[in-house]
Structure 1
Amino acid sequence: MENHQTSLPMKIVVAVLFLFLLAPVLLVFPISFSGEQILSFPPESWSFRWYAALANNSQMMSAFTTSLGLALVVTVLSLAIGIPAAYAIVRLKVAGSQIWYNLFTAPLLLPTIVLGLAILIIFASTGLLGTFTGLVIGHLVVTLPYALRVLAVSLGNLELACEEAASSLGAKPLTVVRRVTLPMMAPGIVATAVLAFLVSFDEVVITMFLAGPRLTTLPVALFHHVESQADPLVASVSVLLVLLTLAIVLVVDRTLGLTRTFVK
């Protein structure tokens, strides 16, 4: 196979582009250790006061717990719904499978604010506003299209030979799915779980329509905090969220590998 060497000018261009994209994230780190009362760069003094303030902020900690629990529930439900749906569409070729696929992925074509307003109108008459169940359903509208796309592509790329071999040796359909198909889909399942978790955890627009004063998520709490105050507390929360995302990526990389998980 021919080995192509990247030229030095191209490496410089790529490095500059990466720096440009990561600059806002990198600036958050020193700001989070600022000892000032307001957001400023560069900080004139250094302190861990805003991390301590975050630990003592009951509203932020409660919102983080809600976001974490919500993202976990949404991730599990996205997999529980997405895996059978992808299998029915890709393998079983059920009647109208393309229509079902388009229906599941239709929310990707709509602006999030339109989805949020539509869900608000529907939930207003069902008593789901300001409830955990309502937030779960609202987030599923956003995460299911991503889950189905990733799972359908993962399943579609699998060779049928292994499943056919298991069937020819007497394995029942459910046994083939459990012992052959799902293990082969493991990278796609992990990619779906990570994507669904991060999308749900970071969702703010739909959540602002559905959350209430007694139940809110971390992104919404941060949004309201920035409206009234401009202190480095937001930067400290952002740093922790970046580290959380990085930890998830590292776990995936160490277990299955990023290339195998996210690259077709």
Structure 2
Amino acid sequence: MKDLTSWAIISITLTFLIGPFIIIIFAGASAGEALAFPPDGLSLKWYLKVFTIESFRQSFILSMGLAIFGTLAALLLGVPAAYALNRYDLPGAETIRTIVASPIIVPGIIVGLALLRYLVIPTGFTVTLALFLAHTALVLPYAVRVVSSSLNNLRSDMEEAAVLLGCTRLQAFTKVVLPNIQGGVLAAFILGFVTSFNQVPVSLFLSGPGVKTLPIDMLAYMEITYDPSVAALSALLAFMSLAIVFVAERLLGFSRYV
């Protein structure tokens, strides 16, 4: 009876988690002209149509650029910050960690509105630059937390030994610390990339005419067209995210860092 109850709970949980994904896959494979489930027959035409929609191609390129370069910028800031917080007894270190984590804690709508009102409007930044800065800020907490986790697992005496053998602090960091935490850095990059690419609330406030990330473009497309192409694109993006996380888990042991 106990095993039966356990299997029932697991089945309900998996249905709750995977069910929407399955619905989207089949809705995108509908042979009909309107988004519906169960689908009116099966066809791959909507999956193929996704690649012919110009706005989707443009917004996909923008989202990829923001996710890649925003995450790299966050790592350039986050790796030294994580190192300083981990290796030095800084005054107010816990307060600094809380401030760094604030983009995760504060709802995205509030972050987006604040950035629009107090960063974009007063400075006159372009939409693309504003999105880049916002995505970098949103990914930064993940970079600091994941890299900090890697540093916690790295013995500090290895670095001290390198210094005693003649390395400067910078050389010890680049030759000893960085190679030993590269798995954590790559894990932070992957987590930041997926987070940035799928980001909606902040991007919704900062997008402008002709400049939209892919999730925002999908929302705008659904306002005027209710065909299954959005479901097909959603399924493709879900597969992409799952593939990235699966490869990261196989190569890096992604779950050790998050």
Q: Normalization by structure 2: what TM-score? A: 0.92
* 1:82 CA displacement: 0.2
2:125 maps to 128
**Candidates 222, 242, 256, aligned match of 2:238:** 242
Corresponding pairs, count: 256
TM-aligned CA distance change 1:97 to 1:260, over 3 Å? closer
Q: Distance in 2 between matches of 1:10 and 1:176?
A: 51
Q: Deviations over 1:48-83 (max 9, x none)?
A: 221222111001111111101110011101110000
1:258 maps to 254
2:175 maps to 179
* 1:84 CA displacement: 0.5
Aligned AA (1:208): L
Counterpart secondary structure, 1:125? helix
- List structure 1 runs of 4+ shifted beyond 4 angstroms: none
Q: Deviations over 1:122-168 (max 9, x none)?
A: 211211252x1110111122111222122222212322232223223
**Candidates 72, 75, 82, aligned match of 1:79:** 75
1:3 maps to none
TM-aligned CA distance change 1:120 to 1:259, over 3 Å? closer
TM-aligned CA distance change 1:178 to 1:15, over 3 Å? farther
2:16 maps to 20
TM-aligned CA distance change 1:20 to 1:99, over 3 Å? closer
TM-aligned CA distance change 1:67 to 1:59, over 3 Å? same
1:167 maps to 163
Q: Normalization by structure 1: what TM-score? A: 0.90
Q: Distance in 2 between matches of 1:7 and 1:170?
A: 61
Counterpart secondary structure, 2:101? helix
Bigger drift between 9-18 and 212-221 goes to: 9-18
2:103 maps to 107
1:40 maps to 36
**Candidates 90, 110, 118, aligned match of 1:94:** 90
User: 1:66·1:216 contact (CA, 8 Å) conserved in 2?
Assistant: yes
* 1:213 CA displacement: 1.2
Q: Distance in 1 between matches of 2:112 and 2:164?
A: 49
Q: Distance in 2 between matches of 1:257 and 1:152?
A: 16
Unaligned runs of 5+ in 2: none
* 1:7 CA displacement: 4.7
Q: Distance in 2 between matches of 1:261 and 1:147?
A: 11
Q: Distance in 1 between matches of 2:106 and 2:16?
A: 29
Counterpart secondary structure, 2:33? coil
Bigger drift between 153-162 and 74-83 goes to: 153-162
User: 1:147·1:196 contact (CA, 8 Å) conserved in 2?
Assistant: yes
Q: Distance in 2 between matches of 1:259 and 1:43?
A: 36
Question: RMSD in angstroms over aligned alpha carbons?
Answer: 1.9
2:219 maps to 223
Aligned AA (2:180): M
Bigger drift between 168-177 and 75-84 goes to: 168-177
* 1:8 CA displacement: 5.6
Unaligned runs of 5+ in 1: 1-5
User: 2:66·2:197 contact (CA, 8 Å) conserved in 1?
Assistant: yes
Q: Percent identity?
A: 35
* 1:248 CA displacement: 0.7
